[in-house]
Structure formats: structure tokens, C-alpha cells
Amino acid sequence: MSRLVVVSNRVAIPDGSKSSAGGLAVGVLDALKTTGGLWFGWNGEISEISGEEDDDLNLLENDGITYASLPLNQNDYDLYYCQFSNAVLWPAFHYRIDLVQFQREAWDVYCQVNDMLAKKLQSLIKPDDVLWIHDYHLLPFAAALRKIGVTNRIGFFLHIPFPTPEVFNALPTHQELLKMMAEYDLLGFQTEADRNAFVENLVQQNEYEELGEKHHRAYGNTFRTEVYPIGIAPDSIKEMAEGPLPPKMAAMKKELGDAQNIISCERLDYTKGLPERFLAFEALLENFPQHRGNVRYSQIAPTSRGEVLAYQDLRHQLEMEVGRINGKYGTLNGTPLFYLNQHFDRRLLMKLFRLTDVGLVTPLRDGMNLVAKEYVAAQNPDDPGVLVLSRFAGAANELTAALIVNPYDRDEVAAALNQALTMPLEERKARYDEMMALLRKNDIAHWSRRFTEDLQHIPLHGNGQDTPAEVATS
């Protein structure tokens, strides 16, 4: 089997700690350990140098995997990462065009950083390597590699949603982005809706041709699209959630007594629907007064991208809502809503998930949302909690036994919370068993294996004269 080369914006460089990796890192490491290979990307550091120096690439060998990483300079970090990636692509791909802050200079640097990274990687690539590129920071990466003569198989996986043409066409560089993405051999998406949105954008452009089911030609390139919903390692999550509680958590559980618990956990981001979620919890207390004083909602939301104004505004809004709701429904014995703007150890989080009665995961738009899957996997099979899940999370396509809600409808979410808090044990167990069977079937190893095997079978780049029949059966 060919060696696998993984490229992502950030590289999870091993540091000797025992903290458990999550999300992308688990799938990438599983794939790399199977074939041996290289993981390449930014190390998270900001340097004084321009990024073109020969000695800024750091190589580390660990457990059969080579980690190749480098810093970004301040200008590249500001314009490639903060501005174009996270103030243009992130809001646009999550259908928040109102928050897009497009600057032509940032677009230029976004492309320049992709070109720079491609040149850095080129010297590390072997002729038969297979390249797997990840996420919205690196949409132009295949095009950058093709410009300098790389002909290896290159696949791309988008971890966030892909917008429909009505939204995507609002980006001034939408045509350039589509042309660059067509340089990949295989494009993977979280859901069929995301894949269809990408294809719909292509259809609106000239020179697009459908070669067969999920096989396409555009801008002179032949490529395939497919859906690969990312999973988790459910047995690893279950193991973290089990076992004795830390002393402080055991004391907290004792203090709560018979009170029921709702928990949410995600980084602070406007896509997660946190203000809407707080209002839905308020509606639960308004519409179902029997829960007043008998339920506590804990929202964990560590700060991310704190330098971006939209995130600062969101944090202020949430703090105001917490004070208002607790002022309205709090008692001398305690407050119903706890908002924690801090990071929690992943192992501790899994134990928290296991202790709670309801997992509330209601993003306004999400590629997948692995927290929903982790909440289910962390539950006690003999007394599981209930997942309340947004219909706009990719996970809703798989976790159909959850209580699926529209996060914009506060009363619908409140009713679902009431249903979850009062659900009989047998129904909770039946829903849990159904979701766990799916999580085990479509776990993180299955996700990475499907993608890499499909990529291995793609014809080598430059074989663009294949007939539609040949492509469709490749």
C-alpha cells in the first residue's frame, strides 16, 4: 500500500502527555499507523521569519509516523488564518454571510500561504504517496501542488458544511475556489446535502460535465465526490466515561441530590446557537413549571478566536442572558443555569456526560458535531441519558433515535427537553442501543479507511481523457 501523507492546518504533534486525542486527530493517527506516513501542517507557533526559510521545517519521528510542521509569521496568521479562513470562509460556509469580512489582500495571502505550504511539502513527497488534505483552510492546496508538478493522488475532506449557490456565490472569489477544488481527485463531504450543494455550484459554471454517479469533469479535470460522515471511537469514549469520579465531581453529584442535569459543551462560536439554546431553556422553565428548582443546565463554552469581534459580542450576549435567566428563576438554594467559559479535560468531560440526564446539542449549522456522538457513547447502558439534537447538525442524519429539533423554535426545543427529562427508562435504553449500534458500525476507523481506500483506487492525475464509462467503474 502507498504511504499516506496527511495535510491539515494544525498538526497534533505528540508531546508525551496522556491526554486523549479527539476528532480529526484520532482518525488521522489511525490511518497513518495503518500505512505509515507523514503528517504535515502548521505547528501553532507565530515566528519572526517570512515562512520561506529552509530551516523552519521541524521533523519528528514517533511510532512510525513523521510529523513535519512549521510556524506562520504574524502577517500570514492574521490574513490567511484569522481573516480569510475564519472571517470569510467559516461564516460563509455556515450560512452567515452577514458576518463575512472580505478583503482582497487576505484572499491573496490565503493563496500565497497555500502555495508556500505546497512548496515546503513537495520535497517530502515520494512518487507513490497518496495525499489526504483536510478542511477549509486548504481549499487551494491541490491546485498549488499541481502548479509545481505534483501528480500524486490527492484527496480532500471538508469537515464543515458546504453552502448552496445562493450563499456561495456571494463570495467574490467563488469561481476561483471552485476551480481550485476541481484539482482534487476525490472530494469528501460530511453529508449528502453538502455534496449536492458543491455539485450544484459546479453545475452553474461553464464546462461542467456529469460523467456518472458522483463522477464529474470541470475546468478540465476529472474527479469524484463522495459522502464520508466522520465518526468517533465509541469504546474509547465509554472507557473514559467509566470508572470512579474525581473527588470534586463526586461531591458535586452528592450535592445535586435528585436534581436532573442538562449539559452542553462546545467552543464559543456563533454557529452553535447558544443564545437560542438559553432562550429554549428559559421556555422550559416557563412552559413546564414543574421543572423549576428540579433541573440544572450547565453550558461549557471555552473561548475560541477571542480576537474576532463577533466572538467578543457573543460572549457578552451570553453573559447578559445568564444573569437575566438566573435572576428570574434562581432561588436561595441555587441557580438553574451555569455558564462556564473555560476548557475542561476531555476525560473529565466524558465523565460529566455520563452523569447528566440530557445532552443538548443544537447548533444552527454544523458539519457533523462529534459532541453529539460522544455524549451518546459516554452514557451508562443501564441508565442512559437522552440526546436532544439540532436537525441542522450532520449527526442528525445518523442519530435519528435522538430527539431531533429545530434550534430556531424555542418552544419546540423546550418541549423536547421536557420529553427527555420525563422519558421512561425502557425508551431511553432503546434509543441509546439504536444509536450505539450505528456509532460502532460507522466509527472513526471506518471513516478513515473508507476515504483512503477510495482514494487509492482513483486513477492517477493527468488521466483526464478517461471516458465516462471508464471513470464510473474505476
Which are the catalytic amino acids? 159, 366
Set of cell numbers at residue 198:
458543491
- Cell 421536557 locates to 418
Handedness of CA 338, 340, 345, 350 (dihedral sign): positive
SS3 content of the chain, % helix, strand, coil (to 5): 45, 20, 35
* Opening angle at CA 361, ends 359 and 364, nearest 5: 165
Under 8 Å between Cβ of 84 and 106? yes
Which residues sit opposite 5 in a β-bridge? 38, 131
Under 8 Å between Cβ of 93 and 163? yes
DSSP 334-395: B-SEEEE-S---HHHHHHHHHH-SEEEE--SSBS--HHHHHHHHTS-TTS--EEEEETTBGG
Residues 6+ apart with CB under 8 A from 165: 197, 200, 201, 204
Q: Among candidates 62, 74, 52, 54, which has minimal Cα distance to 11?
A: 62
Set of cell numbers at residue 320:
447578559
* Opening angle at CA 383, ends 240 and 274, nearest 5: 70
Q: Among candidates 195, 117, 202, which has minimal Cα distance to 157?
A: 195
Under 8 Å between Cβ of 451 and 188? yes
- How far apart CA 322 and CA 336 sit, in angstroms, is 9
Cβ neighbours, 10 Å, residue 358: 23
Buried b (16+ CB within 10 A) or exposed e, 262-285: bbbbbebbbbbbbebbbbbbbbbb
Residue 372 carries which side chain, given as an amino acid letter?
A: A
Under 8 Å between Cβ of 446 and 229? no
Q: What is the DSSP letter of 288?
A: -
